[in-house]
Amino acid sequence: MEEQVYRFLLTSPGQDPAALGLGDAQLEPAVSRLIGLGLVTVTADKGLVAERPEATLELLVQRRIARIVTDLRDVVTARDRVGALTTEADQAAGLMARIERLYGSDAVTDRILQDWQLEPASEVRAVKSRPRKPIYPRTDRLHTNTLFNLRRGIRYRTLLSSSTLDDPQYLDHVRALHKLGDSHRVTTDAIQEILVYDRTRAYVPLEAGNPLAGALRIQDPGVAATLTDLFDSVWERSTDLELYLLDRATANERKVLDALRDHETDAAAARHLNISVRTFRRHVADLMVRLNAKSRFQLAATAKEMGWF
């Protein structure tokens, strides 16, 4: 709706947007939103004027960077560095030349892989706040690139939101990468997804909470260094993945234990969880290994002692 009104004002300066035929209930909120974003201004005679597209693009980039700064500032104490980043955002005219907008996850993947060909990094910092799509090693190009880089000795560090570990498939994926050298730590803080290479360039989502929408690629040492410092601050206060899991049952493990306790047969427990009997038994076996239990009775007793029930 806002885009429709903005395009009308841009192509028909001085005209009343009521000509679009929209009702007041739709038109007034759209106009208010555009004014609030700075995309439309009110003239002295109370007319409406749309700002030029190049000006609005700069404004939106400034707002996006400022939002990232706000999100990160909530979970770190490096206020002086945050202030420096805010100053960078306020001077976005010079920064614009170093910002690239990438629309959609495929465009982001292509640009990241191009970066590795043209300007390989020696260290990668990543923040992931939600599980990724199912990993298929033969087709996931970023996953394949990560494995290749780990074999080359490139250092990877990844911060995970604790909520990502409730997905058993994703948990298996990150544990495998952790064992291969991609060091993972877990935080319960609210975190914003970022990807930083060598304190020189960074990727941040175009839309908060929606990495599939695309990303801003920022080739600016000042911004990248600030994001690196913020990452390191949260990293120091986070817990190694295996240590975190040692004292904590995942949501999936709790479901398996509850089903084991509440059902007399494996078949009934598997039906309750909507999985196969074979998969249920594998989950139980994994829990027995993890808790060093020699029997299911010992598994239940140990889990209860640890407060997993």
21-52 confidence digits (pLDDT tens): 777 676 677 667 766 666 677 766 667 766 66
Question: Does residue 258 surpass a pLDDT of 80?
Answer: yes
User: How many other C-beta atoms are found inside a 10 Å radius of the C-beta of residue 101?
Assistant: 14
Residue 62 has pLDDT above 70, yes or no: no
pLDDT at 191: 83
Taking residues 226-244, report their average pLDDT: 90
Residue 170 has pLDDT above 80, yes or no: yes
Percent of the chain with pLDDT over 70: 69
For the four alpha carbons of 34, 35, 36 and 38, in that order, the dihedral sign comes to: positive
The arithmetic mean of pLDDT across residues 88-94, rounded, is: 53
Q: What is the mean pLDDT of the chain?
A: 79
Indicate the burial class of 87 (C-beta count within 10 angstroms; 0-12, 13-18, 19 or more): exposed
Residue 11 has pLDDT above 50, yes or no: yes
Q: Is the pLDDT of residue 76 over 80?
A: no
Question: Where do the structural domains in the chain lie, given as residue ranges?
Answer: 2-51, 56-239, 249-305
Query: Per-residue pLDDT for 81 more than 80?
Result: no
Report the pLDDT averaged over residues 287-308.
85
- When pLDDT is cut at 50, 70 and 90, the band that residue 140 belongs to is confident
What is the structure's pLDDT at 173?
A: 86
What are the tokens at 123?
Answer: 């260290």
Residue 132 confidence (pLDDT): 67
Query: What would the mean pLDDT of 217-233 be, rounded to a whole number?
Result: 90
Does 307 score more than 80 pLDDT?
Answer: no
The reply to whether CATH 3.30.870.10 applies to domain 56-239 is yes
CATH top class, domain 249-305: mainly alpha
Mean pLDDT of 65-85: 54
